[in-house]
Amino acid sequence: MFSVTEIKLALLLILLMLACTVAISAKFLRLPYSVSLVLAGLVIGQLKILPPIELSYDLVLFICLPALIFEAAWNLNSKDLLKQLRPVLILAILGVFITLFTSIIILNKIALVNLSIAIMFGAIIAATDPISVLAVFKQLGIDKKIVIILEGESLFNDGVAVVVFGFANSFVLSNLSFNINPVNIIIKFLLVIMGGALIGVIIGTVAGKFKLFFKNHLLAITISGVVAYGSFLVGDLFHASSVIAAIMASLVFTNTKNKNNMGASARLALNGFWEYAAFMVNSLVFLLIGLQMNLQLLFQEYKLISLGIIAILLARFILIYGLSFIYQNQDHKLNLNEKHIVFLGALRGGLSMALALSLPAQIPHRNQIIVLTYGVVLFTLIVPGLSIEYVVKKLKLIPQYFGELLIYEKLKTALILEQNALNGLKDIFQKGEIELTLYDEMQNQLKLKITGLLSQIQELHLNNELIRSTQNKMIQQKLYEIRKDNLLQEIHLNVISNDVANELLTELDESIEE
């Protein structure tokens, strides 16, 4: 008999293998990876191939969320974020409250759904998760401004949404008592938010002082892990917003100045570590989202779910189109097509589902709230998630240079294939499997193709500065990795001393930074 631990470990390995399989399939099917994971989980869940696996509140909030927050902060350029801070903060904060009040009006005041369901659903569904559309945007070369706004909004929105959820939870448990001083509520809300922000800034600043350790990639990764998870736990310990604490700590620690203080090897290691952590966490969360879905229950509550979808779409419409005068000015302006994309980009995901699952048993209509949340999350992941690439192309938001980049990538791939074919032909000839005359003829044909491809690539290089700089960075990076790999082999074989090795590693890091 297997122990419980062994069964859980086996299930984890199965989920990771499924994630890898889905990643490969998604590339061929040209589907967003996260949407593919949800669909795969949905199919597996309906077929009952795996035993029930719960997407728990603690798993998402304490294990997954800090990793996702730090990875997002690491990839956000602090200068770019500051430029778009006005729309980011307004969309993040206003978006939560507009979603909450719109849900109450649509569900309770118009459709006469129980007030507890309306309040809790509005608080739960306010947390956005645009990861699948952001991946498409980056792949298509969409204006960085839109990516920063959606990514920044999601980052801060999660923190505000979790705090509002806590207040909504207490309000519903108090039997919807309206004998509450609104001023006290606002003060408590601000204290929780500002307390989390203060804790995060302090932890991020203190961690940033350990500059001496940044050159060592292992210590840099360890410090970053302490920042991500430590800030979250400290925020929770002091009853402040743990999510806001983790966001601010991560943003302060990963600012441009601290990144520059790190060596190139430390930055590469941190980037690889957190990229993998986010990949693994997202893979598990989106698979588990699919596995949680009970289609029979969703169909039974289709009317309620339809009302929930109308509520979040109306809330987003009001926020993006109706209140654009608040978050826009001369420095922060979105044209109509860009607003359409920001409107569609507010998907929902694992955090909303985790908040729904965390509802206490005594919350009225708890099961209905969970089913409603699941149905709306599934809608946002599949409908906007699958249509966003088509909409972006239809609105002609793909930059002109992106077409040239695609041509460049295609030519580079074709060049590699022809060069490999030429090498393969030489091997066949050396084995005596082809006569000299035919070999010369085929070799000349391949060389002619290679020359033509090189000529086309060279022309693109001359006409496109972005392609030229991208190629230059790629070559410099490869040369750096070759030198570092050779140096590490020398260290491993004890050919050079540790002092000389550290000096040479520092010089390598400085050369790549130049």
| pLDDT range class, residue 1, cuts 50, 70, 90 | low
- For 50-54, 174-178, 268-272, which range has the lowest pLDDT when averaged over its residues? 174-178
Written as six digits, the tokens of 45 are 């869940």
Mean pLDDT for 481-493 is: 71
373 vs 218, more confident: 373
Q: How far is CA 108 from the centre of its chain?
A: 33
| pLDDT range class, residue 193, cuts 50, 70, 90 | very high
Instruction: Centre a 10 Å sphere on the Cβ of residue 47 and count the other Cβ atoms it contains.
Output: 8
Closest Cα partner for 204 from 235, 177, 179, 174? 235
Distance, in Å, from the CA atom of 243 to the CA atom of 73, rounded to the nearest integer, reads: 13
Most confident residue range from 175-179, 344-348, 483-487? 344-348
Written as six digits, the tokens of 259 are 């990144």
The pLDDT value recorded for residue 107 is 93
What is 443-501 written as a DSSP string? HHHHHHHHHHHHHHHHHHHHH-HHHHHHHHHHHHHHHHHHHHHHHHHHHHTT-S-HHHH
Q: Is 488 a residue whose pLDDT tops 60?
A: yes
Mean pLDDT for 176-182 is: 63
Instruction: Centre a 10 Å sphere on the Cβ of residue 427 and count the other Cβ atoms it contains.
Output: 9
Q: Tell me which amino acid residue 40 is.
A: A
Dihedral sign from CA coordinates of 311, 397, 85, 377: positive
- Give pLDDT tens digits for 284-302: 888 888 888 888 888 898 9
- Give pLDDT tens digits for 323-376: 888 887 666 678 888 898 889 888 888 788 888 888 888 888 888 999 999 899
Distance, in Å, from the CA atom of 313 to the CA atom of 322, rounded to the nearest integer, reads: 13
- Give pLDDT tens digits for 250-281: 999 988 677 767 766 777 788 889 988 988 88
The pLDDT value recorded for residue 123 is 93
CB 244 within 8 A of CB 200: yes
Distance, in Å, from the CA atom of 125 to the CA atom of 98, rounded to the nearest integer, reads: 11
Q: Is 306 a residue whose pLDDT tops 90?
A: yes
For residue 387, give Cα distances in angstroms to 104, 167, 280, 308, 384. 28, 35, 25, 20, 5
Distance, in Å, from the CA atom of 354 to the CA atom of 376, rounded to the nearest integer, reads: 14
Mean pLDDT for 144-158 is: 87
| pLDDT range class, residue 469, cuts 50, 70, 90 | low
* Best CATH choice for the domain 4-398 from the list 3.30.40.10, 1.20.1530.20, 3.40.1030.10, 1.20.950.20: 1.20.1530.20
Mean pLDDT for 182-211 is: 88
Show Cβ contacts of residue 258 under 8 Å, excluding neighbours closer than 6 positions: 208, 214
CB 161 within 8 A of CB 208: no
Q: Tell me which amino acid residue 266 is.
A: A
Q: Is 227 a residue whose pLDDT tops 90?
A: yes
Percent of the chain with pLDDT over 70: 85
Angle 115-125/144-173 helices, nearest 10 degrees? 150
Q: Is 513 a residue whose pLDDT tops 60?
A: no
The pLDDT value recorded for residue 72 is 87
For residue 466, give Cα distances in angstroms to 84, 148, 205, 404. 24, 20, 35, 10
| pLDDT range class, residue 35, cuts 50, 70, 90 | confident
Closest Cα partner for 207 from 70, 65, 63? 70
| pLDDT range class, residue 200, cuts 50, 70, 90 | very high
Q: Phi first, then psi: what are they for 405, rounded to 5°? A: -65, -40
What is 172-187 written as a DSSP string? HHTTS---S-HHHHHH
Q: Tell me which amino acid residue 449 is.
A: K
What is 108-161 written as a DSSP string? IIIT---HHHHHHHHHHHT----HHHHHHHHHHT--HHHHHHHHHHHHHHHHHH
Distance, in Å, from the CA atom of 508 to the CA atom of 491, rounded to the nearest integer, reads: 15
The pLDDT value recorded for residue 510 is 60
The pLDDT value recorded for residue 471 is 67
Written as six digits, the tokens of 220 are 């840099």
The pLDDT value recorded for residue 470 is 65
What's the chain's average pLDDT? 83
pTM, whole model, 2 decimals? Answer: 0.78
Q: Phi first, then psi: what are they for 96, rounded to 5°? A: -65, -50
274 vs 504, more confident: 274
- Give pLDDT tens digits for 95-149: 999 999 999 999 998 988 888 899 999 999 998 887 767 777 776 777 788 888 8
The pLDDT value recorded for residue 329 is 67
